[in-house]
Copies of this chain bind each other. A is one copy, B any other.
């Protein structure tokens, strides 16, 4: 099993999932009121689209960063990767459900947002499992020194903590939980590399023109 095709397949699945997010943006039919008002009433769909778009974008970036260091592809990695993709593919569904109930308030909005958080948590846990798999000696181009492993583990599993927090906040206020997920996504895009994984050390070895 070549790593190139693992990357190509994952890229394909993630690219389709991120694009299907927009299928939930419904076109208001003529005759249901002012177009601008209608589009305004659909703001949860647009906010949910943006948050999920960057969330999937970030997992793509992190997936790439980690897989690019891997030198051995075995059945366990393939399985973990499939589980990760299974959750990524669920995101458009979870996003649509969450956006539909977001502003309704009450119990239903809490549950819809909690379902969304569960799917993101599943994605984060799968990624953490892939990361953990990759820490075993000889599976990556450059190993993480033992002394730094605990640190690396904590950094790689920040996502699992964030989405647990999103889950908890969902039962206080669904829009607040969405805002938390959105801030996280944007933060991760700009986060200095050391905060995301162990790539910082590795970058020094592999940096230079592509």
Contacts and interface: CB of A to CB of B under 8 A. Distances in A.
A134 interface: no
Contacts of A86: 50, 53-54
B210 A3 contact: yes
A96 interface: yes
Interface stretch (A87-95, A125-133, A154-162): A87-95
Which of the listed residues A13, A30, A112, A209 has the most CB atoms from chain B within 10 Å of its own CB? A13
A112 B35 contact: yes
Given A13-B15, A15-B13, A72-B209, A5 B64 contact: yes
A189 B11 contact: no
Q: Give the copy number.
A: 4
Contacts of A8: 7-8, 11
Interface stretch (A16-24, A145-153, A163-171, A175-183): A16-24
Given A9-B15, A25-B90, A57-B82, A75 B1 contact: no
Which 10 pairs show the lowest CB-CB distances between chains A and B? A12-B15, A16-B19, A25-B93, A57-B82, A71-B209, A79-B189, A27-B96, A3-B210, A13-B15, A27-B97
Interface of A: 1-5, 7-9, 11-25, 27-30, 34-36, 39, 50, 53-54, 57, 60-61, 64-65, 68, 71-73, 75-76, 78-79, 82, 85-86, 89-90, 92-93, 96-97, 100-101, 104, 107-108, 111-112, 115, 189-191, 193, 209-210
